[in-house]
Amino acid sequence: MGTTANQDQAIKQLQSIMDQIDESMKNTYQNMHQGYPTETLVRFLKARDWNVAKAHKMLVDCLEWRIQNKIDDMLAKPIIPSNLYRAVRDSQLLGLSGYSKEGLPIITIGAGLSTFDKASVHYYVQSHIQINEYRDRVILPTATKKYGRHISTCLKVLDMTGLKLSALNHLKLLTTMSTIDDLNYPEKTETYYIVNAPYIFSACWKVVKPLLQERTRKKIQVLQGCGRDELLKIMDYSSLPHFCRKEGSGSSKNTEDGSNCFSPDHAFHQQLYSYIKQQAELLDSISPIKQGSVHVGFPDPDPEDAKIARTIESEFHRLRNLNGLSNSVNGLKVDGN
């Protein structure tokens, strides 16, 4: 894993502590590490700058969160009826476009055109966690077998097409999902690629970038235009997200060849939904499948995450005020003529 002597010592210390966890936590811990406990310890140590005590607290807090919110059963809780699931998918644009040349799954996010306005907050959080769990329990183990080496991280390509000031309306939800990821799924993303970035993103990035930890900042690459040429260095064309295939393509919902990885009809979403329904049927003999969202406890945001969210909100307000002033000036010019 390329660790130093001090880091190896930290791993051994944390392993020794984790060997003593309560029996009640062992099942959910096994679901988390999927047969790779050492790599899991490394992820939590990295997230806490190799401080053993802090990493231990973070890991135990994560296990408690999983138990309290029955995260182990999350992949047996389908969003039903199916038209509600489709509505969630159409307004929370996420997908899997393929794999990199090294075998890392490529998660795609339509950050600019996601509206989060077709269902309650709880359904979006449920869907987000289900994709995390499916990635960790199905996609990554499958990739590990296919490529003959342990694969525990993914790449994420974020499409900023259509990003508007109205995105401020769902900043709280995005912060919640980001906090869930930071605290319970740390160090699962190798690199974030930002594509099709409009001015509003560039303006926010300037003020947010200095606030990020260096470890996080190094993972983010803002690519020119749709990023096609850069991304083709690390993935084949067949895995290239549909919104990166030509300039100005954006997160189009109408691709002729069915390659839109955000669509509920895409192979990934069909497989995911079928898997969840199958798991639900296995548990059905114990308790019938119920309609309604799963209510997950929302953790308090990390102070640094909260500061970033406030900075983004402030920058959005500044841009909105500038936009309003510009419209007023344009109006005056028209009236003046």
CATH class of 79-245+260-281: alpha beta
What letter does residue 300 receive in the DSSP assignment? Answer: P
Per-residue 3-state assignment (H helix, E strand, C coil) for 65-110: HHHHCCHHHHHHCCCCCHHHHHHHHHHCCEEEEEEECCCCEEEEEC
Per-residue pLDDT at 83: 94
CATH class of 1-69: mainly alpha
Sketch the domain layout of the chain as residue ranges: 1-69, 79-245+260-281
Dist. CA 193–CA 154, nearest whole Å: 11
Task: Give me the tens of pLDDT residue by residue for the chain, a chain 337 residues long.
Answer: 678 999 999 999 999 999 999 888 999 999 999 999 999 999 999 999 999 999 999 999 999 999 999 999 999 999 999 999 999 999 999 999 999 999 999 999 999 999 999 999 999 999 999 999 999 999 999 999 999 999 999 999 999 999 988 877 888 899 899 999 999 999 999 999 999 999 888 888 888 888 888 888 999 999 999 999 999 999 999 999 999 997 554 555 555 556 899 999 999 999 999 999 999 988 775 555 566 667 887 777 777 778 888 888 888 888 878 766 544 444 444 444 4
